[in-house]
Amino acid sequence: MESVLSKYENQITIFTDYLEEYPDTDELVWILGKQHLLKTEKSKLLSDISARLWFTYRRKFSPIGGTGPSSDAGWGCMLRCGQMMLAQALICRHLGRDWSWEKQKEQPKEYQRILQCFLDRKDCCYSIHQMAQMGVGEGKSIGEWFGPNTVAQVLKKLALFDEWNSLAVYVSMDNTVVIEDIKKMCRVLPLSADTAGDRPLDYLTASNQSDELIFLDPHTTQTFVDTEENGTVNDQTFHCLQSPQRMNILNLDPSVALGFFCKEEKDFDNWCSLVQKEILKENLRMFELVQKHPSHWPPFVPPAKPEVTTTGAEFIDSTEHLEEFDLEEDFEILSV
């Protein structure tokens, strides 16, 4: 087992050895709906990326389910991507898109509470334990690799437990014929949470106007970090402090899930309008929007709540009282 962990620990180093410096260009770079001019704002760009919560493989946490794995190395990469997508949505909701993180600087309590929701403990509401066990209902055994669509379904169920008044939209799709649409969605839609796929890209944070993507990679194994005696979390390993990696968009995995955060109903309405105007105007569509739940789809059955009482959900549910909106009365999103 140690040899397997060592293999994944070293993977990030192999990638980084071949990372080139960012080119000196006048192009714009888009980071989760926010643009940076690479030539004059490189430091802001790197700061924006390092501010994103970075979840990777971990080891030496309590066994999942009591007798299961104590590390997710080799199988938990998509779960970590899902955590990053959800964490970004929570940061947008509670701290705002323009919030920034600095190393060894005291952070607002909302940030610490968000981070604690994702610690590798069974009583944390968005932990690897909760996500892996929720995946059992989607036909995935604990320790089995998830695909982007399965992760999106698990995130939807976890968000239902916390009765979000905001909305995180996840669109799962096959990107074989929609590369240009993906690039357009990264630039045109301002409410982006992020994107998840697999090998080698697992968490997409940006794209520029050429054919390159910037990404955070979960394929490195770090030791489990728990809450300290003062109730805070040492967050140094939850942010990528090295230069981020890049890849050509044509190397993007064929199966991806895109995430978009809508704080209020009007944001979702604007998102739908932009998608219909800019993305779904072509004959070959990567997904569809429809007014009602399709009759040939099975009825939605809310999942059963976890047996373990989790912490963090009360914070997610109560910090803001935003207007609820019902997708059943608005749009259904169909992935293709």
Which sequence positions are flagged as catalytic? 77, 217, 219
| Residue whose pair of structure tokens reads 């890049």 in the numeric block | 246
Q: Is the dihedral of CA 101, 185, 302, 146 positive or negative?
A: negative
Alpha helix (H) residue ranges in 28-76: 42-50
Q: For 173-187, give one letter per residue: b (16+ CB within 10 A) or e.
A: bebeebeebbbebbb
| The pairing of beta strand 212-215 with beta strand 204-208 | antiparallel
Residue 14, both tokens: 């192999």
With vertex at residue 101, the alpha carbon angle to CA 95 and CA 106, rounded to the nearest 5 degrees, is 90
CA proximity to 82, closest of 246, 309, 256 = 256
Those residues with Cβ within 8 angstroms of residue 257's Cβ, 6 or more apart along the chain or in another chain = 85, 148, 149, 151, 152, 170, 171, 172, 173, 195, 196, 197
Question: Are the beta carbons of 285 and 336 closer than 8 angstroms?
Answer: yes
Cα–Cα distances (Å) from 336 to 175, 211, 271, in that order, read 10, 23, 19
Whole-number Å distance between alpha carbons of 104 and 186:
31
CA proximity to 77, closest of 20, 23, 132 = 132
Cα–Cα distances (Å) from 231 to 49, 114, 115, 228, in that order, read 26, 13, 12, 5
